Each structure stands twice: as C-alpha cells, then as structure tokens.
Structure 1
Amino acid sequence: MPELNRRALLIGGAALPTATSLTPASANAPNNDEAFWREIAAEYDVTREIVQLENGNWGATPRPVQADYFEKLARVNRDTSYYSRRGMGRDLMAVRDRLAEALGVPSDEIAFTRNATEAMKTLIGGYNRLTPGDAVLYADLDYDSMQDCMKRMALRERAEVVRIALPEPATKASLIAAYAEAFARYPRLRLVLLTHVSHRTGLALPVREIAALAREKGIDVIVDAAHSWRQLDFSLPDLDCDFVGLNGHKWLAAPLGVGIVHIRKSALSKIDHDLATAPDGPDQIGERVHTGTLNAAAFLTVPAALAFEARIGLDRKSQRLRALRDRWVVRARSIAGVQVLTPDEPGLYGAITAFRIAGKTSMRDNGAIARQLLERHRIFTVARDGVERGACIRVTPNLFNTMAEMDLLAEALTELGV
C-alpha cells in the first residue's frame, strides 16, 4: 500500500482530533457516534505505521494516564525513600481501596502483584488441599504458563492431571456440559482452572455457572481473569469464585506492572503463606504473595486509568469493543474458507476473536498468514497455538481502532479464503 496518512484515510479523510478531554455533548453521545470515538482515539499515541490489531499483549495507556504516570514516576524517583517511608504506603492503600471498589470486593480480599501470571502462580502454587490421587483439570484454551503451573503443582502433590478440549464451535450450553461431563468422569477432581476470556481465541466462559457446578462437587476453582477484567463489564461478585488473578495493564490500560490477586476471606486458609513471609505473621491475603519491590508509580496511576475509563463508562466501552469485533466478523463469516472460531452468542465474547483458514492448522501456516496480513495490508495480528483443532490468528481491536480499519481487515481476508 502506498505511504500516506493512513489514519486520516481510515476516518474519512480527516486527521484525528487532538482534544485531551471529552466535551459534555460528546460524552452523552450514543454508542455508535463515530465522532465520539474519534475523540477517544485521539487520546492514544499509537503507531501510524500499521493497523494495530494485536492489543492482547498489553494495552496502550491513553495520554492522560501516561501523563499521570510520568508525574508519579518523577515523584518516586525524586523523593525515593523520603516518600516511601513517609506516605507512599498510605497512598498505595488508597489505590487498593479504589481497586477493591471497582472489583466489588472488600479491600482486604485483594493484594498487588506485578501481573496476572504472578497472581495465578500465587494461587495455584499456594493451593494446599491436594492429596495423592486427587486430580486437577485445565482446558486447551487456558494460558500456557497456567497449564504448566497446574502440571507442576500436580507433580509435587502426586495428583492426576486432566486436560479437556473445549467445544469448537462453542455455545454456553456446550461449555457448561463439557465441564459437567469432566466433573462427573473424574470423581477425585479437587481443583479446576477456568480462564474467563481465552488469550488464544477470545472465548468467554460462563464462569459463574461452571463454578457453581464445581462447588456442588466439592471442587475448588481458580479463575484467570487477565483478559476479561475491563474488557467485559463485570465485577468479581458476578463470577462468585474464591480465587481470581487479574491484570490492570491489559484492558484497564494502566501502566505495565499492575496485577491483582483476589482471595475470599472464607477461602484464605486454602492458599499457603508465601515462603518469604514470617511464620508468625498475620493471617491475611498480603502474606500469600511477596513480590519484592513493586513499580509503585504504576500502581499510583491506577486511579487515573479508572477515571479515564469512567469518562466513557465500562458498559459503553465493552459495547464498543464488541462492535469493533462484530464489524469484521460479520463479513468474515461469509468468506469461503475463513473459519471464525469465537462464537457470536452474547456473553461468550468481547474484543478478542480468532479465525483460521480451512486446512491451515499449523503454527507455520498461521505465522505465514499473519505475515501476509502485515506485509501486504499493514495489518498487525498474531498467530496462536494450543487450540485443540489447530493454530489460528488472533485479532484484538482496542478503543483507538476504527470501523474503517475493521473493514480493511475483512477486505484483506477475502484474499486468504479459498
């Protein structure tokens, strides 16, 4: 494609506005008001070299959040221990309270981690209810590191590892049935890993319903919500689970290095204290994780990220992400040879969706497809492996993307079909 102002082209010939705050009129605009979303997109300083549709690694921070982060970072760097020993702890606890409010749980049920992986390692590695001969379960769409954690933990405790493949195509009913069947087949199941939104395909599990079935069988549930929190509109009581790991630097768009672990007080005894905590220390969630020094400035920026999101509204944000996804998926489903893996059933998807070209199931095949999209169309996506029926391409739009960019993807896919 010739070098030109691609971003201007994609919004109809006009350059993106440079406003740093929403006007009252646009703040009350309907969700399909593209002028409103251009104002939101203008808050992001993103690359203009490509159409960025690989936003699953981490989320770009909008300019107001980035500015707040630089301010917090400057203070931490300037005042160092004079701040850390005379007020930073108080400020961080205020951030924890604000996060707890957003999550819908008491403040003493969450603790800071550096990412969701660290939160999940805390939960899986610290789980202490396994005995030899028990079983643990995970699915093909779960995150690779979490699968490995389950296998390592099972090896340590001499437990059986059960892996299931989730149905493709999936429905809410078929997903619940898949777990129900596994729960019935393996009576010694003690722990199950549930990924709320898969990083591979974007499939969103009906976590609450599956967890309820597990509870009836005496099975504990650990939830990986790294991709679902602030991509979907929910709070932790909606999941009704004891153990959850979350990320703040994916869909909340906080700076890199923000993670959260949640443990219900009623289930605290099921997770061991961290090795780096004192044996006679208090029995609280903070004793279950010991990260060492955190990037305090990143956590101190969380209120700014929440404030930016509040200008949009979480429900409206989630709707927009789904609308961007639907824009290309509706067209892609009509293209011969293009298989959209993620279902359209409400509640089973958000922004992330994966597709596969018929017969192209290897990572080599899908790596080549991702390269073709980038080199021929300047559209950046990523190949994902680990799905039972074969590798795929993951597409992940964010709030700075436009409907025109989704149309460009759909047009590019016509060249890939058979």
Structure 2
Amino acid sequence: MSRRDAMMLAAGVAVATTASTGAAAAPDATIAPDDEAGWARIGKLYPAMGPVTQLEHGYWGNMAAPVAAAHREILARLNRDTSIYARRAMRRDQITAQARAAAAMGVNPEDMGFCRNAAEGLQALISQFQGVTEGDAILYSDNDYEASQNAMAYLALARRARAIKVALPRAPTRDNVIAAYAEAFKGAKRLKFVLLTHGTHRSGMVVPVVEIAALAKAAGAVVLVDCAQSFFQRPFAIPDFGSDYVVLNFHKWVGAPVGIAAFWCRPGMAAQVATAPSEASDAAPGDVQSKVHLGTVDFAPQLALPTALDFQASVLPVPMKLARLQYLRNHWVRQVRGLSGLEIMVGDDPETFGAITSFRIAGHGSPADNVAITDTLFNRYRIMTVHRTGLADGACVRVTPALFTTPADLDRLVVALKQLVPEIARG
C-alpha cells in the first residue's frame, strides 16, 4: 500500500467509525416479525414483484430505493467523467468504501480485499493456497458451493494431495453435523486445509462453523469459511468464526448492487496465498488485495456499498431481519411438515436455519425431477423457486423468502405443495 493510500485509509477508517457509531443506534422503530403493516412499509422501498410470487431471493437481493438511486448517480458520474474521476478522485471513495466494508465485517481494512462475487474470492484463496503439499489432506463437504468443491478437487490434484469429501447427514442437526466433521477429521492424516460453508445454499442448513473450525484447527488445518449466504442475514463479526480466511457477498443480504463481495485474511495469513498471476509482480506477499486482481471492473457496485450499509444499519438491523426471515420460513414449513411424500431438509432449531429451506419429493431426487418441479410451480402456480443439485442423497428445491415476502405469498406455496406432492408421488 502506498503512503498516499495509507493516509487515505486512515481518513476512511475515521469516516467509517463515525458512520458505524451512528448506524449502531437503534432504528426509529423495531418491527416485530409478524407486523405485516410494518413490513409492508419496508416493502414499499423495494421494486414491486409483479404477477409472479418470487420465492428465490437467494441469488441476489433487491436494492432498496435509496441504494438504487445512489447506484444510478454513480453510474452517471462514471459515464460522464470517466478517467477524470477514476484517476483523480475515485481512489478516495474506494478507500472510504473499503473502510465502511471492514467496519461492517468487524475487521481491519488492511486485512480484507474486494472481489466481484464470493465464488471469485473462494476460487482465488483455494487455488492459490500454498500450505498443501504432496501427501497432505484437504477436506470439504457436499453442501459447499459447486465451484468451491471443484477448486478444492483441483488443488488436491495439482498438489498431489488427498481430497476428502464429507457427506453431511440427510437430516442435519447441530450435533450430528459437528459429529460428521469430527469423525472425518479424526481419520484424516496430515489434514492441512478445510473449507466450511456457514449458510448452505442447497438445503439451507446453517452449519456450526465456530465449533467445527476449532476442531479443524486442533487437527492442524487452515480453515476457510464461506459465508456468502449468511452475512447480514445472521448477526456475527467475521473474526467470530476463529478461521483463517472468510469470503462473503454484499449483493445478497446487504442489498448492494450485483458485483461486490469481499474476502478476509487473518493477520499473518495472507502470505500463505499466492499473489494472483495477473497482479503486479511487485505486490508484497502480505498485500491482501493482491490475491484477487480486479483490474478495470464495474466500479459502481463498490462505490454504492456505503449507501447500502447505511440503509441496512438505519432501517434493517440484522437481528430484526433474521427474526422476520425465520418467521416467514416457519410459516410455510410448519404447514407442510409431515405431508406424506414431502421431505423438509432442515429441522426447526433456529440456530440451524435462516431464510432458506429446501424440500424434496419422495422418489424424485434427480436433477431432472427437480427442474420439472420448479417448472411446474412456475408455469402452473406462478411461483418462482430454484432446484439445487450436488447433495450426496439427491437434488432438491430451494425456497427463499425476502423481508417483504408476505405470509399470503407463502400460503400460495403451501396450497401448491399440498396439491402437487400427492400428484407427483403417485406419478
């Protein structure tokens, strides 16, 4: 980092500290999970959904009106001023955005870097990790993101290491998931690198990564946590995990524009990740941003991030968001749990779920089956969901409400499932 950047970073930290102190204050009113009038007021800050019941909010989040307005203004400035802004003023705004991001993450700005999405950050940290050699073991699970599983398999192949893939229990609970990892660690000689996913994008299970990371560290492994689906959906600070690396998204539950994510390296651990091949050759081994070389990208999402963080802090504190999302999830799950032929893939312990919960229809675990189910829900019932593949015991359908989803929206899903599941099960 140049002396000039270091000075601007110090100024940015001061701005972020002031903003986060103000943002930490309680919002004007806390909205109860079942206060539909209150959540309808929040909903008016987001785009209207149209005729389709949208229950696939796990891909990326809608920008609230203030964030979308800031994004439009930034795009206009980038288009109007181009290099005049980019080369003479934009770095100051980027430093401020980095400081604000770091404050939201609970880390120091110099220990984090930006990437365009969590998949990009995970790919870089995994494929460039230097702490694995021939004969070592690395470990991941069937619930991890597909691209990350592929990166782990590639790392094992490139370093002649052993890749261990854990199949998490079919009916996951906090205890049996910890036990599954503990058993895998016990049998993994020379375990050096472990990937954990906090909020899984398939079943919706929230994995107790704090406990599992501690077990992995005790076994001698370096730990990378993917919290792309959990950041700002559940309350935590990045260092809480006790891991060495963390990757997250800002375009999901922070509601920033698509194209902005971040990664964190525990102090002293950046040097174990090689500098990106396309980065400047004089980048220092400890320079965190050098692990993902962004080059010329769409700068607007990064520059709009402070506005998104302001909105979240002043309007949607994370505990209030989580309570609403769990309330909505329970609203549909409790009406169909026990329906013959339907498997709800996550239990009801609030520590193990957030917005996402997936289902599977008995005897219909193939990807094609689940594509067909999502197509039927969309074409016949005008309900948007998404199929997920890759679990050891088969594919499933994911349901993800948003904060402004209504119980009536979820009642439409319940009606559809009560009609569709017997029909398909007879099939």
Question: Is residue 346 of structure 1 aligned with residue 358 of structure 2?
Answer: no
Query: Which residue is 2:378 aligned to?
Result: 374
Deviations along 1:248-288, one digit per CA (max 9) or x if unpaired, are 11111100100101111221221111222334333321222
| Ranges of 4+ aligned residues in structure 1 off by more than 4 Å | none
For residue 199 of structure 1, report the CA deviation from its aligned partner: 1.1
For residue 25 of structure 1, report the CA deviation from its aligned partner: 10
Query: Which residue is 2:205 aligned to?
Result: 203
How many residues in Structure 1 have an aligned counterpart in Structure 2? 395
Query: Which residue is 1:336 aligned to?
Result: 340
Kindly indicate whether the alpha-carbon contact (under 8 Å) linking 1:226 and 1:245 is maintained by their aligned counterparts in 2: yes
For residue 160 of structure 1, report the CA deviation from its aligned partner: 1.0
Kindly indicate whether the alpha-carbon contact (under 8 Å) linking 1:103 and 1:235 is maintained by their aligned counterparts in 2: yes
SS of 1:118's equivalent in the other structure is helix
For residue 32 of structure 1, report the CA deviation from its aligned partner: 2.3
Bigger mean CA offset, 86-95 vs 282-291? 282-291
Kindly indicate whether the alpha-carbon contact (under 8 Å) linking 2:32 and 2:324 is maintained by their aligned counterparts in 1: no
Kindly indicate whether the alpha-carbon contact (under 8 Å) linking 1:342 and 1:353 is maintained by their aligned counterparts in 2: yes
Kindly indicate whether the alpha-carbon contact (under 8 Å) linking 2:33 and 2:327 is maintained by their aligned counterparts in 1: no
Deviations along 1:344-373, one digit per CA (max 9) or x if unpaired, are 112111101100111111112111211221
Kindly indicate whether the alpha-carbon contact (under 8 Å) linking 2:31 and 2:320 is maintained by their aligned counterparts in 1: no
For residue 26 of structure 1, report the CA deviation from its aligned partner: 7.3
Query: Which residue is 1:10 aligned to?
Result: none
Q: Which residue identity does 2:312 align to in structure 1? A: E
CA distance in 1, matches of 2:350, 2:37: 26
Q: Which residue identity does 2:180 align to in structure 1? A: A
For residue 71 of structure 1, report the CA deviation from its aligned partner: 0.6
Query: Which residue is 2:97 aligned to?
Result: 95
SS of 1:308's equivalent in the other structure is helix
Query: Which residue is 1:14 aligned to?
Result: none
Query: Which residue is 1:82 aligned to?
Result: 84
Residue in structure 2 matching 1:412, options 409, 416, 421: 416
Query: Which residue is 2:310 aligned to?
Result: 307
Query: Which residue is 2:196 aligned to?
Result: 194
CA distance in 1, matches of 2:135, 2:245: 23
Query: Which residue is 1:284 aligned to?
Result: 287
Query: Which residue is 2:60 aligned to?
Result: 58
CA distance in 1, matches of 2:189, 2:304: 46
SS of 2:419's equivalent in the other structure is coil
Q: TM-score, normalised by structure 2?
A: 0.90
Distance 1:247 1:332, change over 3 A: same
1:17-32 matches, cutoff 5 A: 27-32=29-34
In structure 1, list runs of 5 or more residues that go unmatched: 1-23
Residue in structure 2 matching 1:34, options 36, 40, 62: 36
Deviations along 1:118-169, one digit per CA (max 9) or x if unpaired, are 1101110111011101111111111111011011111111111111100010
Distance 1:33 1:287, change over 3 A: same
CA distance in 2, matches of 1:263, 1:202: 26
Distance 1:417 1:26, change over 3 A: farther
CA distance in 2, matches of 1:396, 1:287: 35
Q: Which residue identity does 1:391 align to in structure 2? A: A
Bigger mean CA offset, 271-280 vs 309-318? 271-280
CA distance in 2, matches of 1:28, 1:291: 39
CA distance in 1, matches of 2:185, 2:338: 37
Deviations along 1:393-415, one digit per CA (max 9) or x if unpaired, are 10011122111111111121111
Kindly indicate whether the alpha-carbon contact (under 8 Å) linking 1:226 and 1:247 is maintained by their aligned counterparts in 2: yes
Q: TM-score, normalised by structure 1?
A: 0.92
Query: Which residue is 1:232 aligned to?
Result: 234
SS of 2:269's equivalent in the other structure is helix
Kindly indicate whether the alpha-carbon contact (under 8 Å) linking 1:27 and 1:312 is maintained by their aligned counterparts in 2: no
Kindly indicate whether the alpha-carbon contact (under 8 Å) linking 1:114 and 1:259 is maintained by their aligned counterparts in 2: yes
